[in-house]
A and B are shown apart, each in its own frame.
Chain A
Amino acid sequence: MIRYDCLELLVQRMSDQLVITSQSGQRIEWANLSNHEGNLLVGMMGCALGVGMGLAVALPHRKVIVLDSDGSILLSLFNLPTLGNLQPGNLVVFVFDNGVYSGSRISYPTATSGNTDLESMAKAAGIKNAVTLTKLDDFRTKGLGALDRHELAFIVCKVEESLVHRQIDRPTLDLAENKYRFVRYLERTEGRPIPFIGRG
């Protein structure tokens, strides 16, 4: 299973969910598959899950999906106990664990290519519904099935390293442009202003 195949299945399930991506491959591939206004392409490693948690707590009636990576989770392991105690039922976290730091040029092993198991770590942190999926059929049924339940899910997708994200165009959406498009979408769909925007 590769990440892009999973994302191709996921994009077919999108309607009004909010999708937060970390750096790097999942950001590029998701932007290639979806130009939805509810996407927030967080371009920093280790920050997407925190932003997703805050959104999930602030908007408990909206489904929030975080597309993360082993590298980013390993960089922000403190998120796991916080998530295990918060238990936001509207949050689904997909961790695409390819076992490598795979940016635009490099490919170096992460701890998960050694002895580290993110599902076990998540469970030990209090995230009961943590699973590892290795087959695309399981992603289709168990992975996407999490979108239909009101329960925190932490789904580790063990994927082969692929180079799709190096072969497709990188998104041109600027960080600030993406942020404003995202909050305007929320203002429209929530029917109320986002306070920090204010008036000029």
Chain B
Amino acid sequence: MKEELAKGIVDSLKDAGIDFLTYLPESRLSQILPLMQRDPDIAVVPVASEAEGVTIAAGAVLGGKQAACYLESSGLYVASYSLLTIGRQLGVPVLLVVGFLGGFGDQRNSFLYATVGQRTMPLLEGLGIPYVVIETGDQLPAKVKDAVRTMNALRSPVALLFAGEYTV
């Protein structure tokens, strides 16, 4: 991913009001991490499982933060219980910033990722979590703001699936 794309993600998250991030790193979007960690306005919490990435972010949201979880798309399967119970059933909005491995737009797709990737969108649909696939940096700030407005209005997690040029 080009450096300007990583900066674009971080700037867009901040502009949309995100001030808390949990993460379990992956290779596609990881350039955002040093930028987030250097920012004094964002609390950054590393986690050991995407499942707790969601619950910790949800706790922060109930405490007044606007939180995002950065994870790989395979982590959505790990987090699905937390997403359904805390995200959907309790109704707590968190923004899922997802490195979308294994989808059509994954420029580094391979047999390692494709099976998991092809079921990512049906998984989110099954969980009732709205998502948008983002393949270029065009109008990213507006798309992230749209997602944050939607998740707060719905009281639900919303996912941004980064593919295309974000996976180069």
Contact = CB atoms under 8 A, between A and B. Distances in A.
A186 B63 contact: yes
B134 interface: no
Contacts, number: 124
B57 A54 contact: yes
A132 to B, nearest CB: 23
Interface in A157-196: 175-176, 179, 182-183, 186, 190, 192, 194-196
Interface string A48-84: 0111111111110000000000000000101101100
A142 to B, nearest CB: 26
B58 interface: yes
A40 interface: yes
Given A76-B52, A179-B92, A50 B82 contact: yes
Interface residues of A, number: 37
Counting chain A CB atoms within 10 Å of each CB, which of B48, B61, B86, B151 scores highest? B48
B33 interface: no
A55 B55 CA distance: 10
A42 B56 CA distance: 13
A145 interface: no
Contact of A179 (B63, B66, B90, B152): B90
Contact of A78 (B45, B48, B90): B48
Contacts of A46: 51, 81
A46 B6 CA distance: 33
Contact of A82 (B46, B82, B90): B46
B59 interface: yes
A47 interface: yes
A82 B48 contact: yes
B90 to A, nearest CB: 5
Contacts of B81: 44, 46
A79 B43 contact: no
Contact of B60 (A40, A55, A175, A183): A55
Q: For this complex, into which size category does the number of interface residues on chain B fall?
A: 35 or more
A29 B90 CA distance: 20
A194 B85 contact: no
A78 B62 contact: no
A182 B52 contact: no
A32 B41 CA distance: 40
Contacts of B57: 54
A176 B62 CA distance: 12
Interface string A117-157: 00000000000000000000000000000000000000000
Interface in B62-109: 62-67, 81-82, 85-86, 89-93
Contact of B91 (A54, A179, A192): A179
A198 interface: yes
B20 interface: yes
B17 interface: yes
A156 B141 CA distance: 46
B46 A47 contact: no
A55 B20 CA distance: 11
A179 B58 CA distance: 11
17 contacts: A43-B85, A44-B86, A51-B62, A54-B58, A54-B61, A54-B62, A55-B60, A55-B63, A58-B65, A79-B48, A82-B45, A175-B89, A179-B91, A186-B62, A195-B17, A195-B152, A196-B151
